[in-house]
């Protein structure tokens, strides 16, 4: 947008509405929603986390809300199961995010290479699971994991493999499978769009220099879409830390998932089942900060490595 | 974008921006309309909002509205997790006037002040209800609700399986363990029962039978008995059944669970009076093969158990408490409503009239024509009134189901689970400033 065109449009607006007010008018809905649904809840959560509902005796005399400072944070950190949940989602993320992104990158490169026939159909097929809401996806996979109703388990057992997708040791990876299935599509699309935006002439030049398709993919395409990879990595990490739908749904079909299996489930349990919104606010803030810190660390590390590469 | 001059932020601009903001807030407010306390309109008609989940309540509400033009009730059917919304709705001042509630949760509502004392409006109601159900809505000499149905337990069993292997239907829990061994020995594919770690009601009915109570009141102090003697007795029994591999351990209500039931791999289900119809609906292929027997008893006792009932309570926001209490009394206690609650609602009544109703005792084709509720009526009479509900039932329930899941996964024993859940429950009450002793 050139400076001239800006002046022109703003002058026109001034005549039609009067004053340079229209930007505020258009921005207002966003700002209001942003404040009401993001800033205000965070503020309320921080405020809430500093208090506690206290009764005395049998409690029938009612309760009062007392300022307790960081007590709720101390309680949250002292809850071994809550902390264990962080370890669990980190383990999950370390495995699931690279695997998922690897699959998404391979698919995106394949679709971009022009080697695949029926690209549109396969792209659509790969993207479709993303259109299935998380809860529904978990329900669908829940059926495929339960031995008596699962064609997969029965098929495997026919060829002599005794699979238990819901055992304590395997259920985390069964959840990882659901989220990979759900999110590969969208990440593939993001990476694919980044690939499509690259100038084609570079491939010509590389080909003249004798580079094959794989060499072009690894040497040119992937480094060029590094920013898109970073975006997908960070949003996937955030998604991992927020893990809730899949384990919460599978919880109803297996005893291998406790009510505080992931940090978000622990927060849900503390607020709706334990009815302690103050404690759960503190837990939510801890989760938010952990997400922020991990995202910043990933950002810092990748920035450093891209700089080094350049 | 330097052309835009932000420094000239006049009051006029602010006004426009503010207007846009107000519009947006208006949209937001639109999302949360609805609900609200009762109101008496200009023509003197009291309006009451009522949330509940029992089937057929719509018809009863219509009947009331026809008979009482001055007090008009509007009904909202609770589905899914509506139960968890009630508290937030009440706190936001957008809750209904009346809500159906599990009596296990009542103490929490009383402590948090979300429910109103209706003692003065219901003094004449008490005699209509069974003592145990009236006790479940009374706390510290005040009445906070009108009982709506109870959950006495019975044992549904596969008559054909017991007959095929020549095993007698157990009447005591000792016989039950022996029968479990005999059935599994006769056919390794068949198990006496399913131990669902998350199905707290099945645990509750058996520990109540053993005269356990998670909570108690000792003067001005709560006592917590998640690991008390009665619970330990039940824990030992299930430990044997689990250790010897005599039970399946699926979560209840899952496709896997119903597949086991339909395949004839589960020989008995011990559960409340509302369960037989669930079984009939979900295991239609096994029609005619089931019968209901009294739940097995503990040695030296004729006690039965109950997994808990419901009540209709008047919430904080209600303005016309008397009208709301009157409707609740009529709905749950009137002789006119009992048959509808039983036949359409599928409720097991908490009134003496309801318990004596012919509508309750009907032949059930799924159970080979047996009048199954005779068993449940007897169970209701034999339920000890030792159970006390206490604050934060949700925490105790979550603690115990999480620990039981560990037991099922072989990480600990039922006894260890009880001690861990006891500790978690006590710690939670203490964190709330309540006075508690173990």
- SS3 per residue for chain A: CCHHHHHHHHHHHHHHCCCCCHHHHHHHHHHHHHHHHHHHHHHHHHHHHCEEEECCCCCCCCCEEEECCCHHHHHHHHCHHHHHHHHHHHHHHHHHHHHHHHHHHHHHHHHHHCCCCCHHHHHHHHHHHHHCCHHHHHHHHHHHHCCCCCHHHHHHHHCCCCCCCCCCCCHHHHHHHHHHHHHHHHHHHHHHHHHHCCCCHHHHHHHHCCCCHHHHHHHHHHHHCHHHHHHHHHHHHHHHHCCCHHHHHHHCCCCCCCCCCCHHHHHHHHHHHCCCHHHHHHHHHHHHHHHHHHHHHHHHHHHHHHHHHC
The pLDDT value given to residue A117: 86
Nearest to B313 by CA among B60, B52, B55: B52
CB contact under 8 A, A168 and B397: no
Band the pLDDT of B345: cuts 50, 70, 90: confident
- Mean pLDDT in residue range A43-47: 96
Nearest to B49 by CA among B99, B84, B91, B87: B99
Residue B379 in this model has a pLDDT that exceeds 80: yes
The pLDDT value given to residue B18: 45
Which residues of chain A lie closer than 8 angstroms to B24, CB-CB? 28-29, 32-33
Band the pLDDT of A293: cuts 50, 70, 90: very high
Residue B314 in this model has a pLDDT that exceeds 70: yes
pLDDT digits (tens, 9 = 90+) for A96-133: 999 999 999 999 999 998 888 888 899 999 999 999 99
Closest-CA distance of chain B to residue A148, Å: 6
B95 and A CB contact within 8 Å: no
The pLDDT value given to residue A308: 61
The pLDDT value given to residue A63: 80
Band the pLDDT of B232: cuts 50, 70, 90: very high
A277-309 vs A71-78: helix crossing angle, rounded to 10 = 70
The pLDDT value given to residue B42: 56
Tell me which residue in B16, B402, B434 faces A258 most closely, judged by beta carbons: B402
Q: Which of A298-307, B380-389, B429-438 has the lowest mean pLDDT?
A: A298-307
Closest-CA distance of chain B to residue A52, Å: 8
Calculate what percentage of chain A has a pLDDT beyond 70: 92
CB contact under 8 A, A168 and B409: yes
- Mean pLDDT in residue range B92-108: 92
The pLDDT value given to residue B29: 45
Chain A interface, best mutation among B22, B89, B402, by max A CB count within 10 A: B402
Give the separation between CA B312 and CA B310, rounded to whole angstroms: 7
The pLDDT value given to residue A99: 96
The pLDDT value given to residue B293: 97
Residue B15 in this model has a pLDDT that exceeds 70: no
> Of B15-19, B267-271, B387-391, where does the model show the most confidence?
B267-271
Nearest to B348 by CA among B325, B376, B328: B376
pTM: 0.85
Nearest CA in chain B to A259: B402
- Mean pLDDT in residue range A230-240: 90
Residue B101 in this model has a pLDDT that exceeds 50: yes
- How long, in residues, is chain A? 310
More confident residue, A14 or B96: B96
Residue B331 in this model has a pLDDT that exceeds 90: yes
Give the separation between CA B287 and CA B368, rounded to whole angstroms: 8
- Mean pLDDT in residue range A55-79: 90
Give the separation between CA A104 and CA A180, rounded to whole angstroms: 9
CB contact under 8 A, A60 and B263: no
- Mean pLDDT in residue range B317-345: 93
Nearest to B50 by CA among B274, B325, B333, B336: B325
* Burial (CB count <10 Å: 0-12, 13-18, 19+), residue A172: buried
The CATH number of the domain covering residues in B46-150+308-355 = 3.40.190.10
Nearest CA in chain A to B411: A168
Closest-CA distance of chain B to residue A175, Å: 18
Expressed in percent and rounded to 5, the helix, strand and coil fractions of chain B are: 45, 15, 40
pLDDT digits (tens, 9 = 90+) for B180-198: 999 999 999 999 999 999 9
* Contact between B257 and B196 (Cβ < 8 Å): yes
Phi, psi of B203 (to 5 degrees): -70, -45
CB contact under 8 A, A36 and B140: no
In CATH terms, the fold of domain B153-305+363-437 is: D-Maltodextrin-Binding Protein; domain 2 (3.40.190)
- Residue B289, number of CB atoms within 10 A of its CB: 17
Residue B34 in this model has a pLDDT that exceeds 50: no
Chain B interface, best mutation among A82, A249, A254, A283, by max B CB count within 10 A: A254
Q: Which of A105-109, A210-214, B387-391 has the lowest mean pLDDT?
A: A210-214
Nearest CA in chain A to B88: A272
The pLDDT value given to residue B85: 85
B92 and A CB contact within 8 Å: no
Residue B89 in this model has a pLDDT that exceeds 80: yes
Residues 196-215 of B with CB under 8 A from A: 197-198
Give the separation between CA B206 and CA B234, rounded to whole angstroms: 7
Band the pLDDT of A7: cuts 50, 70, 90: very low
Right CATH for A75-309 from 1.10.3720.10, 3.40.50.80, 3.40.50.300, 3.40.50.970: 1.10.3720.10
Residue B33 in this model has a pLDDT that exceeds 90: no
Three-state DSSP class for residue B376: helix
Band the pLDDT of B41: cuts 50, 70, 90: low
The pLDDT value given to residue A307: 67
Which residues of chain B lie closer than 8 angstroms to A55, CB-CB? 111, 432-434
- Mean pLDDT in residue range B103-121: 92
CB contact under 8 A, B111 and A23: no
- Mean pLDDT in residue range B269-276: 94
Which residues of chain B lie closer than 8 angstroms to A276, CB-CB? 428, 431-432
Q: Quote the tokens at residue A147.
A: 């031995």
Tell me which residue in B24, B222, B253 faces A28 most closely, judged by beta carbons: B24
What does the mean pLDDT of chain A come to? 88
ipTM of the complex, rounded to two decimals: 0.84
- Mean pLDDT in residue range B6-15: 42
- Residue A25, number of CB atoms within 10 A of its CB: 16
Band the pLDDT of B14: cuts 50, 70, 90: very low
Which residues of chain B does CATH 3.40.190.10 include?
Answer: 46-150+308-355, 153-305+363-437
**H or E, element range at B18:** helix B11-31
Q: Which of A251-260, A299-308, B362-371 has the lowest mean pLDDT?
A: A299-308
CB contact under 8 A, B17 and A24: yes
What would you measure as the largest C-alpha separation in chain B, in angstroms? 94
The pLDDT value given to residue A18: 54
Residue B28 in this model has a pLDDT that exceeds 50: no
What DSSP string runs through B145-181? -EE----BEEEEEEHHHHHHTT-PPPSBHHHHHHHHH
pLDDT digits (tens, 9 = 90+) for A144-196: 999 888 999 999 999 988 889 999 989 999 999 999 999 999 999 999 999 99
Residue A216 in this model has a pLDDT that exceeds 70: yes
């Amino acid at each position: 947008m050139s400076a001239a065109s800006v002046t022109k449009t703003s002058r026109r607006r001034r005549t039609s509405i009067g004053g340079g007010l229209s930007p505020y008018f258009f921005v207002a809905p966003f700002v209001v929603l942003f404040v009401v649904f993001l800033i205000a809840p965070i503020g309320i959560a921080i405020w809430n986390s500093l208090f506690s509902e206290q009764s005395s005796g049998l409690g029938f005399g009612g309760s009062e809300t007392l300022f307790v400072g960081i007590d709720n944070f101390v309680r949250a950190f002292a809850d071994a199961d809550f902390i264990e949940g962080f370890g669990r989602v980190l383990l999950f993320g370390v495995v699931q995010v690279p695997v998922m992104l690897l699959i998404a990158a391979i698919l995106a490169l394949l679709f971009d290479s022009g080697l695949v026939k029926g690209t549109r159909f396969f792209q659509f097929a790969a993207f479709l699971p993303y259109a299935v809401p998380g809860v529904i996806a978990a329900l669908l996979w829940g059926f495929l994991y339960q031995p008596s109703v699962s064609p997969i388990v029965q098929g495997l057992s026919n060829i002599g493999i005794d699979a238990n997708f819901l055992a304590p040791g395997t259920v985390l990876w069964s959840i990882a499978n659901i989220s990979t299935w759900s999110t590969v599509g969208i990440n593939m699309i993001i990476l694919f769009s980044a690939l499509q935006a690259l100038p084609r002439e570079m491939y010509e030049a590389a080909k003249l220099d004798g580079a094959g398709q794989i060499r072009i993919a690894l040497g040119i395409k992937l480094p060029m879409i590094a920013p898109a990879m970073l975006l997908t990595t960070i949003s996937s990490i955030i998604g991992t830390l927020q893990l809730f739908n899949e384990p919460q749904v599978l919880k109803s079909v297996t005893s291998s998932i406790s009510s505080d299996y992931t940090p978000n489930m622990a927060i849900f349990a503390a607020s709706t089942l334990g009815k302690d919104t103050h404690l759960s606010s503190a837990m939510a803030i801890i989760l938010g900060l952990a997400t922020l810190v991990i995202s910043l660390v990933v950002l810092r590390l990748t920035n450093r490595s891209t700089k080094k590469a350049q | 974008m330097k052309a835009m001059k932000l420094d000239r932020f006049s009051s006029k601009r602010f006004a426009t921006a503010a207007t846009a903001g107000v519009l947006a807030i208006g949209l937001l407010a639109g999302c949360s309309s609805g609900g609200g306390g009762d109101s008496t309109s200009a023509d003197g008609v009291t309006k009451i909002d009522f949330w509940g989940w029992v089937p057929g309540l719509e018809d009863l509400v219509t009947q009331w509205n026809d008979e009482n033009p001055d007090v008009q009730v509007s009904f909202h059917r609770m589905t899914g997790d509506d139960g968890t919304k009630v508290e937030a709705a009440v706190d936001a001042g957008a809750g209904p006037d009346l809500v159906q509630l599990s009596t296990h949760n009542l103490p929490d509502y009383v402590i948090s002040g979300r429910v109103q004392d209706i003692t003065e409006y219901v003094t004449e109601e008490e005699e209509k209800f069974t003592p145990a159900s009236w006790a479940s809505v009374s706390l510290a000499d005040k009445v906070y609700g009108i009982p709506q149905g109870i959950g006495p337990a019975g044992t549904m069993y596969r008559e054909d399986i017991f007959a095929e292997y020549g095993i007698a239907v157990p009447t005591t829990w000792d016989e039950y363990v022996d029968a479990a061994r005999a059935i599994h020995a006769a056919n390794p594919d068949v198990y006496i029962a399913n131990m669902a770690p998350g199905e707290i009601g099945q645990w509750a009915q058996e520990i109540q039978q053993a005269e356990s109570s998670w909570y108690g009141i000792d003067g001005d102090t709560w006592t917590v008995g998640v690991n008390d003697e009665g619970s330990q007795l039940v824990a030992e029994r299930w430990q044997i059944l689990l250790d010897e591999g005599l039970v399946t351990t699926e979560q209840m209500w899952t496709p896997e669970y119903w597949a086991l039931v339909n395949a004839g791999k589960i020989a008995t289900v011990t559960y409340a009076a509302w369960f037989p119809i669930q079984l009939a609906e979900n295991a239609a292929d096994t029609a005619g093969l089931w019968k209901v027997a009294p739940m097995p008893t503990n040695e030296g006792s004729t006690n039965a158990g109950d997994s808990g009932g419901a009540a209709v309570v008047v919430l904080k926001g209600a303005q016309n408490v008397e009208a709301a209490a009157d409707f609740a009394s009529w709905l749950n206690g009137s002789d006119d409503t009992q048959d509808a609650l039983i036949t359409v609602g599928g409720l097991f009544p908490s009134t003496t009239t309801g318990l004596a109703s012919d509508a309750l005792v009907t032949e059930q084709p799924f159970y080979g024509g047996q009048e199954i509720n005779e068993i449940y009526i007897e169970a209701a009479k034999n339920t000890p009134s030792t159970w006390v509900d206490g604050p934060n039932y949700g925490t105790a329930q979550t603690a115990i189901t999480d620990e039981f899941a560990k037991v099922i996964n072989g990480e600990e024993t039922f006894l260890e689970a009880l001690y861990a859940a006891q500790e978690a429950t006590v710690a939670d009450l203490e964190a709330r400033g309540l006075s508690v002793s173990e």
